[in-house]
Each structure stands twice: as structure tokens, then as C-alpha cells.
Structure 1
Amino acid sequence: MPKRYVFFTTLSYAYSIYRPLQEAIRARGDEVAWFLEDGCPDLLKEDEVRLTTLKDVIEYNPLAIFACANVIYHFLPGIKVSVFHGYPIGKRGEKNQEKDDHFSIRGWFDIYCTQGPSSTEYFKKLEAKHQFFKVYQTGWAKVDSYFDEYNQQSEVPTILYGTTFSKGISSAPHLFDTISHLVKTKNWNWRLTFHPKINDQVLLNKYRALAAEHSNVSFIDNVRLEDFQQSDVMLCDSSSIILEFMLMDKPVVTYRNTNPGKHLLNVTSVSEVENAIETALRRPDALMKEVNSFARYHEAYRDGNNCDRILNAVDDFNENHKGKIKKKPLNLWRKFRLRNKLKYWKYFERSERM
């Protein structure tokens, strides 16, 4: 009998994380369905199975439910698996991992599938401390296809601009005039992509208008693998998308990065952006060595088998640890608030009551 899985989907960035995992599940002859939270953009394809209600998920009865956000509905059946929506790069300048939201333990998950040493080492300490979840270093599901050989053959350089949504950290309000100037004065192509949580529509419309007015600019609602592959340099701030780009052995220019290092060409003034991009396009040896080292610290594997490792982790937990480790905390207040938000009181999983 095939195993069943569910993708708990909150924001648009989840699609590129889950689809490689979906491919691996189907390759094993197993089944997977999607549950979209209210407000999540519906980008499902015709061949992707949709579960429209919480009752549908319960009746589907998955072996595991995957989440790349920080919360998952505790009352749904299945092993709760965190596969993350980015890397722990200290976006807010955290020097102490205890203060990094990437490592927050909220009591929702049974499994954390970490990406590399930067996340595994501290999560292993948290596993020993809390004892109600297991940690598996699997690599990140999204990047399995990043390591396919790809040769850029463009005569005109392409700059990919991406930004975080965090207020006070996002470069989007500061770099519009600079990017607009470079669009008009440099023989470069531009791809502009923004975090789905950015809600300043006036600002976004300015960037959309820039793309509409210039043939060398594209506005991208959901960044794709080919956008990384077909770009030469990234311009960013403190988003974890930086590391995704570096996995392809490509340089990044950042504006006021909160945790700068030798792996970045970080600038603190808009007047420095142009020269920094020019330097990045030359790919200095010393810089590229730092880029490679930084990427390997965060993403352990280059074999394209991260999704298989995630599924194997679920099997191992199910066979060797489910029901045998410490029970998750009751979290009664959090659970009440979640149910009250959903107005859902019908189903109490047995493990929740124990």
C-alpha cells in the first residue's frame, strides 16, 4: 500500500521547496497531496492533488505532514516534519543562535530536517535538551536540482535583485533610484524579485513600472531555478536567498547586510553599488573561495539526494522513534489560540490528549 504525505502550504515560496520532494515521493510509487492555508496563493498544477478542508486532510490520513513555515496544525494526523523556508544566516544580525528565529522550538514538530553544519550542530544540542523531536541532516529539499551542470552563455550580464521583507532591513525602499539609474546606463539585464510578505504595494508598483518601461528588466513574482541559473550576480540585503544563489558558485553584492563577511561584497552607501557589481562580475578568486566555503557550511550535500534523505528520515522516525521519545509539551495556550483562530474544535488527535 503506498505511503501518503501532505504538504502544508502557507506562502508562495513553499511551492519551490515542496515540488522536488513531490517528485521524489512519486518516484517511490507513493502519494502526496497539498493543503493550502487561507490566503496562500493557489499555484497548484492540474496533476497536483488538492485537499480543500481540514476534514479532507484527516481522512487522507498521511504518514507525515511537511511544513516549511514555523507553525503546523497540531491536531492533524501524521508525523510533523519541518523542512524550513531558508537558511540560518543571521538575517537580523543575531550572533547568538538562541536569539535566531530559525532555531525557535515551539513544540509543533517531530522531525527537523537540517541543511548543513550551520543548522545541524545547534539543532542537535536542542534535540538533546528537549528530547521530544529528532534531528536529521538531510540537506534542503529545494536545492536538489541546483547542482545540475549549467553553463551560462550570455554576452550581456544579468543581475538578479532580491530583498527580504523585514522592516528596517529590506533594501527595496533605498535602492529603487540606484537600480533605475543602472537600468538606463549599464548594458545589463535585470530580474527583480521580492519576498511574498512585502505588502508595500506603492513601492512594488514602482518596480513593476520600471520593468514595464524597460526591455532589459523583468519583474518576477516567484523566483525560479532558471532565474538563479541565468543570472551572473545577485544584488540583495540580508535575505536567505543570498545563500541559494551562492550554491551555484556565484557572487552576491549586499546593501547594509546585517551579518557581513568575506563571502559578500557588502556596501553601506547606494553610491557604492555600481562598483561592487562590477567587481562581482569579475569574480575575484579570493571572493569566490569565500563564497564556496560559506555555501558548504550551510548546505552539506551536492548529490541531488536531499529529498530522498528527508523521506528516509521519516521512515526512520516512524520505525524507530515514534511513540518512544518524550511527548511534545502540551502547549495548551498556543493550541487554544490556533483553534480559536481557525474556529476548529472538532478533532483531537490522541497524541494531543496524552
Structure 2
Amino acid sequence: MIAKRYLMYISQNYSYAILRPLQAVILAQGGEVSWFLEGNEVNSAFLKADEQRLFSIDAVNSWQPDAVFVPGNVVPNFIPGIKVAVFHGFNAGKINRKGREDHFEIRDCFDLYCTQGPNTTQRFEALAAQHKYFVVKETGWPMLDPLFMPVVDNPYIVPSDTRKTVLMCSTFSQKLSCAPHLFTLMSRLAAKGNWRILVQFHPKMPSEIVNQYKGIVSDNLTFVETDNVIPLLQAADVMLCDTSSILNIFLLLKKPVVTFRNRTNAAYLLNVDTEDQVESTIEHALTYPPKLMASIEAFCQQMHPYNDGKSSERVLAATNALIDNPDRERVRKPYNLVRMFKLRRKLGYWKLKCWR
């Protein structure tokens, strides 16, 4: 039996952590894996020595993947394999330029959406019925498989430091980011030293803001740049955030999140609108108030009810089922000439091959 081939198609550093649990399952089942790195925002230095990289679209086409896993929004139709959306985060309610929720934007690229939980599955199933060219399977999110495994050698857990740990995360969007607004406060909190503070930002955060926070690093505040946020989440007691979808991952650990000007008005978040509310709200969150914790539990059951560490296995099973038994009732994907032209220009590939 010929081993199936799977391409990991990534454009951001955080995608390594999303797809590596899936890679581990593929290799354990005898499959083959290669990586393709699109664009300048993904760092090849994060590839491991035993991970195979394909350097061009010609190389991808020659390798002939059976499936392409994408933790992003778009993928070329001029490479082979069924295209599988595995998402780069949870739905954070962000509205795109078209006035629609970006998480549910259909871009005519995918054959299979592997959804994370009931509150997104139902929406995508409705979209599948409307568009008729893709299928939807609820699998859970591969990135979270390690989240539910025992913590081993976590560099951000310091047993000798008994202070509570606050993790600050922020999105890069100027309209939504809390980082510019809370810099003075975080400087003051770091100077007080009541908590151990970890800071981690979206990789697209403007460099001037990153440099500001790096300038206040001390024994009480650590700035972290990483391709794997899970150890950070496991180490923290409370998160301070804005609208970044990383807060949803943190909630799955059944820990409170304090948000700054979050637009959802959700019961499972402790939201504040002014800087002077932040410190007291973090103190309240650290008590793990029962009403808040019950709201978090209810939300997690809708967002991602899987805590067995086997989401990657479900994604691979759904992918293989579609490879082995294509749904003949599906219509063909739209060509989407404008989007594919942009991808061809970005990748410098002009051969008239279209695998769809």
C-alpha cells in the first residue's frame, strides 16, 4: 500500500505549533509529510532537522500531496491534493472589511473544513449547504492536543516563585489592540512586583510597540517571542487580553481572562473599558469567582468540547475519508481568478496548471 502524502502549507510562525501534532499522528500511521513556507512572515529556522521542506510550487507539484493542510485563509488551486482548513485560531468575532465575521468568510479554497466545536460547526454546515462544494467535519483543533497533556519541563513555570502569573497577550490590529493603551500600566505593575508577568504578542504587532515592552523587561516581567504559546498558557493563572483569539485557548484551561475593550460583552470574560479598572479586575479574576467559572465551562462546551488530545486523529480520519471516497455530489469549486492571480504573483508561479 502506497503511503499517503500530506503537505503542511504555512505562512506564519504560529502555524508550526498548529500542525505539528497532526504531523506526529500522520508519521505514526505511516504517512509522509512535507512543509511549504509561503511568504516572508514565516521563519524557516523554526523547521526541525528531520522536517522536510519543499522550496517551490514545482517541487510541490512533483511531490504530489494527497492533501494540503492550511491554518490560514487561502491556498493555491494550482497545487494537487484536497485542501483542508484547520484554522489559525478560534472565532474572536472580528468583522472584516466586507462587514462579515472573518472566521466564517468563504474564499473558495477548501474542500474540507475541520471545525473546532458546535458553535462554529453549525455555521459552517449551513454554509456548506449553501455553497455545495465543501464538506464540514467537527474534529477539534490539532494545536490543542498538547494543551491537555501533562506539563513537562515548562520553561515558564518557576516553582521557586510563588507569585501568581499574569499572561498579557494582544492582537496587532490598531483598532483592537490593548498593548498601546496599557503600556504605562504594565510598566507600573511590573515595578510593583506583586505578580510575575509574561507578555506575548501577535507576530504582526508593530515593532515600535514590541520594543516598548522589551524595554521594561525585568525580574517581574518577561517578554516572550515563540512559535508555541501552549507552555505560556499552561504557566499562567490569569490572562490579560483584548479580542485576540488566543484568549479562547486559555479559557479551555478553565482559567479567567480579563479583557480590555472587548466587543463581545460575554459572560465568560471580565471586560473593562478603562486602564484604571485593570488591576482590580485581575485581582478579582485570581479568586476564580464561581459564577464566572460556570460561564467559562458552558462556553468551552460549545467552543471546543474535546479535551482528549485526539483532535489530530479526527482531522486525519476526516481527511483520509475524503481522499478515499470523494463526495461526488459536491459541485466544483469556483476558480476565483482574482484571488488565484494574486497568489500566483506572490509565489512567482505562472504555469497554467490548475489542480483545484
Q: Which residue pairs with 1:77 in the alignment?
A: 80
C-alpha distance in 2, partners of 1:93/1:335? 20
C-alpha distance in 2, partners of 1:112/1:76? 18
Is 2:194 the counterpart of 1:187? yes
Is 2:355 the counterpart of 1:329? no
Q: Which residue pairs with 2:320 in the alignment?
A: 315
Q: Which runs of 5+ in 1 are unaligned?
A: none
Deviates more, 1:173-182 or 1:315-324: 315-324
Is 2:151 the counterpart of 1:159? no
Residues 196-249 of structure 1, C-alpha deviations (whole Å, 9 max, x = no match):
111x212210101111xx112211112522111111000000110011001111
Is 2:204 the counterpart of 1:201? no
Could you say what secondary structure the match of 2:147 adopts? helix
Counterpart amino acid of residue 164 in structure 2: P
Match 1:242 to one of 239, 247, 261 = 247
Could you say what secondary structure the match of 1:99 adopts? coil
Distance 1:186 1:92, change over 3 A: farther
Matched-pair contact (CA < 8 Å) for 2:193–2:220: no
CA drift of 1:332 comes to 2.0
Could you say what secondary structure the match of 2:215 adopts? helix
C-alpha distance in 2, partners of 1:91/1:295? 19
C-alpha distance in 2, partners of 1:74/1:256? 39
Matched-pair contact (CA < 8 Å) for 1:24–1:307: yes
Residues 135-178 of structure 1, C-alpha deviations (whole Å, 9 max, x = no match):
01010111012122559866211111000111211001000001
Counterpart amino acid of residue 195 in structure 1: H
Distance 1:269 1:282, change over 3 A: same
Counterpart amino acid of residue 58 in structure 1: N
Q: Which residue pairs with 2:109 in the alignment?
A: 108
CA drift of 1:314 comes to 0.8
Match 2:224 to one of 220, 225, 229 = 220
CA drift of 1:41 comes to 1.5
C-alpha distance in 1, partners of 2:249/2:20? 16
CA drift of 1:27 comes to 1.1
Q: Which residue pairs with 1:171 in the alignment?
A: 178
C-alpha distance in 1, partners of 2:183/2:88? 26
Residues 93-117 of structure 1, C-alpha deviations (whole Å, 9 max, x = no match):
99xx981011111111111000001
CA drift of 1:182 comes to 0.6
Count residues in correspondence: 346
Counterpart amino acid of residue 227 in structure 1: L
Matched-pair contact (CA < 8 Å) for 2:15–2:71: yes
State the TM-score, normalized to the length of structure 1. 0.93
Could you say what secondary structure the match of 1:69 adopts? coil
C-alpha distance in 2, partners of 1:146/1:166? 26
CA drift of 1:80 comes to 0.4
Matched-pair contact (CA < 8 Å) for 2:5–2:65: yes
Residues 52-88 of structure 1, C-alpha deviations (whole Å, 9 max, x = no match):
1111111111110111110101100111000001111
Matched-pair contact (CA < 8 Å) for 1:88–1:118: no
Counterpart amino acid of residue 161 in structure 1: M
Could you say what secondary structure the match of 1:282 adopts? coil
Aligned 1:296-315 pairs, distance under 5 A: 296-315=301-320
Match 1:58 to one of 58, 61, 69 = 61
Could you say what secondary structure the match of 2:286 adopts? helix
CA drift of 1:333 comes to 2.5
Matched-pair contact (CA < 8 Å) for 1:91–1:240: no
Distance 1:48 1:146, change over 3 A: same
C-alpha distance in 1, partners of 2:342/2:19? 27
Counterpart amino acid of residue 222 in structure 2: S
C-alpha distance in 1, partners of 2:232/2:74? 29
Q: Which residue pairs with 2:43 in the alignment?
A: 41
CA drift of 1:92 comes to 4.5
C-alpha distance in 2, partners of 1:62/1:338? 19
Q: Which residue pairs with 1:19 in the alignment?
A: 20
Aligned identity (percent) is 42
Is 2:94 the counterpart of 1:88? no
